[in-house]
Amino acid sequence: MRAVRFHEHGGPDVLTVEDIEEPEPGHGEVVVEAGAVGVNPVDTYFREGAYPVPDLPFVPGSDFAGTVVSVGEGVEEFAFGDRVFGTGLGNGRSGTYAEQVVAPVEMLAHLPEDVALADAAALALVGTTAWQALVHHADVEPGETVLIHGGSGGVGHVAIQLAETMGARVVATASPDHHETLEELGADAVFDYRRDDLERVLSEAGAPDVILDTHMDRYLQLNANVAADGARIVGVGNDTAEGGFDDIGVTKSKELRYQFMSMFNTRDQSAVLARLADLLLRGDVAPVLHETYSLENADEAQRSVLHDSFVGKLVLSP
């Protein structure tokens, strides 16, 4: 089968498409014929060496959706021919940029027939991240105000939809080019993240009860200043610290709660994916597919996911 691998850490040019042996499922695993594979910034961190990989050469990628073609011993939840999607690979084990993917059942969920494989692959990682942030950590309640930084990103644009579905009022930050699209996705107000008076306009928009921040290191003080008393602030991403608090006293006076998280630490991942599949089927949450690439153009996809400005997700079509 064909797979994208890197034999050394480096830029996107180290990615090559190679013919390798088809995987065999171990105990508690299945092999999936991948119909679509998601592309995420975290994929580039493993390629660059910022995150460790067990061995080289290595197949990157976390998300996938497709059809089960082989079932290992001890597997009762899935059978040959089942449509499935999953996430969490590429971290300590071979990833998903390939025609076939081997995955443990705890990283999978069944996929309804009416849900497109590309939508499922695009949603898996970012949807699980948004779910962990807003449902598990922040416990968003109807009527609360949720501020989402980076609203046009993979996590951000899904989090807007999820928060809106949960009955929250949603405020987001993003480039002006994307404001209209984010409002169509459910944001009640969107502000240019480059504004000199960003703190003022966010405060005037209403103190957020929950803040989801994919650039936490950049906005530590701003988040504390604009947050409501007792707010929950959840940080995801891989930023390098640019500074800390200028006034840490405000965090104490408001009794703010900070949570730093990683999707890879999700408990009962299969259950979260199953709930996301239901939301997809109902149309309550749907990823925006910006562009689809072939395996041969995985390097271009990884360049784009870090450096281009767009709303939504990129996928590979094996």
C-alpha angle 195/234/147, rounded to 5°? 40
Task: Tell me how far CA of residue 206 lies from CA of 101, 108, 119, 145, 310, in angstroms.
Answer: 45, 39, 33, 7, 27
Domain boundaries, the chain: 2-111+288-317, 126-263
State the pLDDT at residue 238: 62
Asked if the bond preceding 176 is cis, omega within 30° of 0, the reply is: no
Chain position carrying tokens 């059809």: 67
Let me know if the fold of 2-111+288-317 is the same as that of 126-263. no
State the pLDDT at residue 247: 57
State the pLDDT at residue 243: 58
Distance CA 224, CA 257 (A): 10
pLDDT in tens, the chain (318 residues): 999 999 999 999 999 999 999 999 999 999 999 999 999 999 999 999 999 999 999 999 999 999 999 999 999 999 999 999 999 999 999 999 999 999 999 999 999 999 999 999 999 999 999 999 999 999 999 999 999 999 999 999 999 999 999 999 999 999 999 999 999 999 999 999 999 999 999 999 999 999 999 877 788 889 999 999 999 999 997 654 555 656 555 655 788 999 999 999 999 999 999 999 999 999 999 999 999 999 999 999 999 999 999 999 999 999
**H helices present in 132-268, as ranges:** 154-165, 179-185, 198-204, 216-226, 249-254
Question: Cβ(33)–Cβ(3) under 8 Å?
Answer: no
C-alpha angle 241/265/4, rounded to 5°? 85
Question: Cβ(90)–Cβ(59) under 8 Å?
Answer: yes
Question: Cβ(85)–Cβ(37) under 8 Å?
Answer: no
Distance CA 42, CA 302 (A): 10
Report the C-alpha dihedral over residues 246, 152, 312, 127, rounded to 10 degrees: 50
State the pLDDT at residue 251: 59
CATH 3.40.50.720 fits 126-263, yes or no: yes
CATH 3.50.50.60 fits 2-111+288-317, yes or no: no
Q: What is the pTM of this model?
A: 0.94
State the pLDDT at residue 255: 87
Distance CA 181, CA 221 (A): 28
